[in-house]
């Protein structure tokens, strides 16, 4: 609990920080199914009086390394006071553990897999992040770069007026594609009550993002069940859209959640006694939504079907009185991120994954 609660104290006076529920953190660090194949080790940095001044978790995902032919460890749950020596101690300890386990690189901040929070904030410090994204002070970047970490990739997030509608071109394209291929919108409210359809959706999700999402690792059956249980309660037809063909096969999807970031700030890490009330209230408020996942199954990618769910969601936003939409992080090298240039939008946050080589030609790299 000292590990989990440290950021609550560190960010006590930060109006942008969104604390995770302590119960969710306990689950992620001790019981999540991903730990059945991942290794992880956690450390706290203490000052001379025994006060926590930093934390870090180092992880090894063997499925990732096998899929990409790498020997990489990853770090996450990285938080610290503004002190270079604390950063050196935390990262150096994680690097040493990684080398002991045969790794030659370490990157982060990341989660065990693609489902968790990832990416160190480098732009947009004035903004409140979606609940599934990290927040950090600017000095984090100064310390990791001073200790030899370099950019591996950036993820971009955009914010846009949700009631702006779609262009006539997109609307016309949506109509033509629906008519030509006999496509129709399905019901997420109905889908999430059918375990078979939920599994089908996530299987397609796995397939859809396997090649388009950087560092993506397909989810196991157990991970799918956990994610479905955790996330589907936020999903409804009110602002999301799911598209099927005439045979009932999934074509494309656009999933949004009502933002719960401010509700989590009020919870202060606790669901009880009143945290549940703030969350329940937020889940019924569609003033601002988080665009969680958008995509198409492989055979429908690059066909323009995004126009269908964009049009449908635009109409739903207007009907729900939604004013703002915040996109989920998207890798800057993925052409799909350019879709937001078609709308009135602005860069909301930029996140970075850092990487460091910790073994060179059979010799340890100096990390002190």
pLDDT of residue 341: 80
pLDDT of residue 255: 92
**Residue 342 lies inside a defined structural domain of this protein:** no
**Does the predicted model carry a pTM greater than 0.85?**
yes
pLDDT of residue 195: 83
pLDDT of residue 366: 43
Please report, rounded to a whole number, the percentage of residues in the chain having pLDDT higher than 90: 76
Q: Encode pLDDT of 259-316 as tens digits.
A: 999 999 999 999 999 999 999 999 999 999 999 988 888 889 889 999 999 999 999 9
For residues 71 and 208, state if they share a domain: no
Indicate the range of 61-75, 143-157, 214-228, 301-315 predicted with least confidence.
214-228
Q: Is the pLDDT of residue 185 over 70?
A: yes
CA distance 362 to 104: 9
**Residue 335 lies inside a defined structural domain of this protein:** no
Residue scoring higher pLDDT (200 or 69): 69
Q: Is the pLDDT of residue 212 over 90?
A: no
232 and 198 Cβ atoms separated by less than 8 Å: yes
For residues 200 and 81, state if they share a domain: no
For residues 42 and 83, state if they share a domain: yes
Q: Is the pLDDT of residue 9 over 50?
A: yes
For residues 73 and 183, state if they share a domain: no
**Residue 344 lies inside a defined structural domain of this protein:** no
CATH code: domain of residue 264: 3.40.630
For residues 149 and 246, state if they share a domain: no
Residue scoring higher pLDDT (281 or 362): 281
Q: What is the dihedral of CA 26, 27, 32, 38, to 10 degrees?
A: -10
Q: Is the pLDDT of residue 218 over 70?
A: yes
Average of pLDDT values for 112-126? 95
Q: Encode pLDDT of 60-83 as tens digits.
A: 999 999 999 999 999 999 999 999
- Furthest C-alpha separation in the chain: 70
235 and 192 Cβ atoms separated by less than 8 Å: yes
Residue scoring higher pLDDT (306 or 212): 306
Which structural domain, as residue segments, surrounds residue 359?
2-155+352-364
For residues 220 and 236, state if they share a domain: yes
CA distance 272 to 305: 43
Q: Is the pLDDT of residue 241 over 70?
A: yes
pLDDT of residue 57: 98
**Residue 198 lies inside a defined structural domain of this protein:** yes
Q: Is the pLDDT of residue 364 over 80?
A: no
Q: What are phi and psi of 358, to 5 degrees?
A: -120, 10
For residues 10 and 118, state if they share a domain: yes
Number of domains in the chain: 2
For residues 170 and 80, state if they share a domain: no
**What tokens does 85 get?**
């020596």
pLDDT of residue 361: 46
Q: What's the alpha-carbon Rg for the chain, to the nearest Å?
A: 21
Q: Is the pLDDT of residue 362 over 70?
A: no
Name, in order, each residue with C-beta under 8 angstroms of 308's C-beta and a sequence gap of 6 or more. Answer: 174, 177, 178, 183, 185, 241, 243, 252
**What tokens does 128 get?**
């409140």
For residues 115 and 203, state if they share a domain: no
CA distance 290 to 229: 18
pLDDT of residue 209: 77
For residues 173 and 230, state if they share a domain: yes
pLDDT of residue 319: 96
pLDDT of residue 162: 95
**What tokens does 297 get?**
């199954």
pLDDT band at 43 (very low <50, low <70, confident <90, very high): very high
pLDDT of residue 367: 46
For residues 140 and 196, state if they share a domain: no
pLDDT band at 360 (very low <50, low <70, confident <90, very high): low
**Residue 331 lies inside a defined structural domain of this protein:** no
For residues 64 and 83, state if they share a domain: yes
């Amino acid at each position: 609990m000292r590990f989990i609660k440290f950021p609550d104290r560190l960010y006590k006076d930060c109006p942008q920080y969104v604390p995770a529920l302590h119960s969710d953190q306990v689950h992620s660090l001790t019981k999540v199914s991903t730990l059945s194949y991942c290794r992880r080790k956690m450390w706290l940095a203490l000052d001379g009086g025994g006060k926590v001044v930093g934390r870090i978790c180092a992880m090894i995902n063997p499925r990732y390394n096998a899929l990409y032919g790498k020997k990489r460890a990853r770090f996450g749950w990285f938080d610290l006071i503004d002190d270079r020596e604390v950063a050196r101690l935390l990262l150096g300890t994680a690097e040493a553990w990684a080398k002991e386990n045969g790794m030659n690189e370490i990157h982060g901040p990341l989660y065990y897999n693609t489902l968790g929070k990832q990416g160190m904030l480098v732009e947009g410090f004035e903004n409140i992040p979606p609940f599934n994204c990290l927040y950090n002070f600017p000095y984090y970047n100064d310390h990791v770069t001073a200790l030899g970490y370099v950019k591996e990739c950036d993820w971009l997030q955009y914010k846009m007026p949700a009631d702006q509608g779609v262009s006539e071109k997109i609307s016309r394209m949506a109509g033509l594609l629906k008519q030509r291929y006999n496509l129709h919108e399905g019901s997420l409210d109905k889908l999430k009550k059918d375990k078979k359809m939920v599994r089908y959706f996530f299987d397609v999700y796995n397939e859809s993002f396997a090649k388009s999402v950087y560092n993506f690792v397909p989810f196991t059956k157990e991970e799918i069940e956990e994610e479905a249980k955790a996330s589907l309660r936020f999903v409804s037809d009110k602002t999301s859209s799911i598209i099927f063909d005439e045979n009932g096969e999934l074509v494309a999807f656009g999933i949004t959640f009502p933002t719960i970031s401010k509700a989590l700030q009020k919870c202060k890490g606790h669901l009880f006694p009143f945290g549940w009330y703030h969350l329940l209230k937020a889940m019924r408020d569609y003033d601002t939504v988080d665009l969680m996942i958008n995509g198409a199954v492989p055979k429908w990618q690059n066909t323009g079907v995004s126009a269908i769910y964009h049009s449908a969601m635009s109409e739903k936003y207007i009907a729900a009185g939604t004013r703002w939409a915040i996109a989920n992080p998207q890798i800057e090298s993925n052409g799909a991120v350019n879709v937001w240039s078609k709308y009135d939008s602005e860069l909301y946050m930029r996140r970075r994954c850092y990487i460091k080589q910790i073994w060179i030609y059979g010799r340890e790299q100096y990390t002190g």
